[in-house]
């Protein structure tokens, strides 16, 4: 179970012995908040927020800023306001503020009421250090917080990337930048040092074909592999049943109807008895056959053979084509309306979209019959 870092949630899961993992995006947010806890940073961010607010509440300053941007050749971007619950918005606010620093200083400095909001060179240096430290982490918060895809196997590789590249201090970094990087990395190392969580992350990386054992401690590779094998062996084996359960009502009904001559034989008039009769030797299409499944499907289903009528095979082959081509009737109709400038689907000056689809389906059926049937006759 994935949760935030709330102590009540963590305690509840621990008391119930449920496997759990804290959201990486939330952990990264807390790590960055911890990394920027510094009086100098607090003052610089406060100056930045007040300057941004001055433009947010004054249309005149925004007008003057547009003029200065055009004069200085700066991008015509508006300043960004921070959202307290999203650290990324703070980084974007700082980055945009630094981009428009010359325009901001000129506009604020030209008004004596806002002149005190002009940032000092020390404030700008601090903002530069913050931006350089946390900007490379911007994309990871959203990428590893997705709900529609699995991202747990990414955590080990991402932590390795942080430690060896993105949060690795460089020679040209300012001291404050190095301090921020170090505090963020130490926080993440501490939070992911739990042996239980580390084992869960190792298992996740192992089953991901992109990573396997690349980011697992060499001393732990063999124990992790043994545990993975043990868990796979403990899974229940699929039932080896050669007769599959029918997936739907239509398929079940086709089995019943195919056993009655009334549904599979042509109607003939008997002159002797003076009545219609339906008695024939069913075509091969309506004779039950055993089909051996390919090894790939056998490994998934556990079945070695299936009992099907040949016409069911044809239905399976034709239904995907019909389901794909059918919806395109609307697209064809829209295209013909625009091409022939008509408000109706059927035009005297252009082809009928419905007939185009019908002809394609008829062509596909005829092709199916000629390829797989000895005689293209329907009963």
Q: Are 190 and 181 in contact (CB under 8 A)?
A: no
pTM (predicted TM-score): 0.59
Antiparallel, parallel or unpaired: β 21-22 and 2-3: parallel
Per-residue pLDDT tens, the chain, 379 aa: give them.
Answer: 777 777 788 788 888 888 778 888 888 888 999 999 999 999 999 999 999 999 999 999 999 999 999 999 999 999 998 887 777 888 999 999 999 999 999 999 998 889 999 999 999 999 999 999 999 888 777 666 666 667 788 888 889 889 998 899 888 999 999 999 999 999 999 988 888 888 889 988 888 888 888 888 889 889 888 888 888 888 776 555 544 444 555 666 666 666 666 666 776 666 776 666 667 777 777 777 787 877 777 777 777 887 777 777 767 666 666 666 666 666 666 666 666 666 554 445 555 666 666 777 677 666 666 655 545 454 4
* Per-domain boundaries in the chain: 2-232, 249-372
pLDDT at 276: 62
Phi, psi of 307 (to 5 degrees): -105, 110
Relative orientation angle of helices 121-134 and 175-191, to the nearest 10 degrees: 40
Phi and psi dihedrals of 300, rounded to 5? -85, -45
Check residue 324 and give its pLDDT: 64
Q: What is the pLDDT of residue 345?
A: 47
Q: How far is CA 275 from CA 44, 270, 307, 310, in A?
A: 100, 5, 36, 31
Give the Cα separation of 110 and 254 in Å (integer).
85
pLDDT at 379: 47
Contact 152, 203 (CB under 8 A): no
């Amino acid at each position: 179970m994935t949760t935030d870092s709330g102590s009540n949630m963590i305690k509840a899961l621990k008391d119930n012995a449920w496997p759990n993992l804290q959201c990486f995006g939330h952990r990264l947010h807390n790590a960055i908040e911890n990394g920027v806890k510094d009086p100098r940073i607090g003052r610089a961010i406060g100056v930045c927020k007040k300057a941004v607010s001055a433009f947010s509440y004054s249309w005149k300053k925004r007008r003057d800023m547009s003029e200065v941007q055009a004069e200085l050749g700066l991008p015509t971007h508006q300043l960004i306001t921070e959202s307290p619950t999203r650290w990324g918005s703070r980084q974007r606010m700082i980055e945009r503020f630094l981009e428009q620093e010359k325009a901001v200083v000129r506009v604020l400095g030209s008004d004596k009421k806002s002149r005190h909001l002009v940032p000092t060179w020390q404030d700008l240096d601090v903002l530069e250090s913050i931006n350089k430290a946390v900007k490379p982490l911007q994309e990871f918060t959203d990428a590893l917080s997705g709900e529609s895809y699995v991202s747990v196997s990414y955590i080990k590789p991402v932590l390795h990337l942080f430690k060896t590249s993105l949060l690795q201090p460089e020679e040209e970094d300012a001291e404050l930048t190095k301090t921020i990087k170090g505090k963020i990395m130490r926080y993440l190392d501490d939070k992911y040092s739990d042996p239980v969580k580390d084992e869960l992350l190792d298992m996740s990386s192992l089953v991901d074909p992109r990573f396997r054992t690349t980011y697992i401690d060499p001393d732990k590779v063999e124990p992790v592999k043994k545990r993975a094998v043990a868990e796979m062996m403990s899974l229940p084996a699929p039932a080896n049943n050669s007769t599959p359960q029918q997936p739907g009502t239509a398929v079940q009904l086709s089995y019943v109807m195919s056993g009655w001559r009334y549904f599979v034989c042509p109607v003939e008039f008997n002159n002797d008895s003076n009545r219609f009769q339906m008695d024939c030797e069913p075509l091969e299409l309506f004779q039950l056959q055993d089909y051996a499944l390919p090894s790939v499907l056998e490994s998934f289903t556990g079945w070695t053979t299936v009992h099907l009528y040949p016409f069911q095979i044809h239905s399976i082959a034709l239904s995907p084509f019909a389901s794909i081509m059918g919806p395109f009737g609307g697209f064809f109709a829209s295209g013909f309306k625009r091409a022939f400038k008509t408000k109706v689907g059927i035009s005297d000056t252009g082809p009928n979209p419905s007939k185009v689809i019908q002809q394609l389906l008829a062509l596909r059926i005829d092709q199916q019959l000629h390829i797989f049937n000895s005689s293209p006759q329907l009963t």
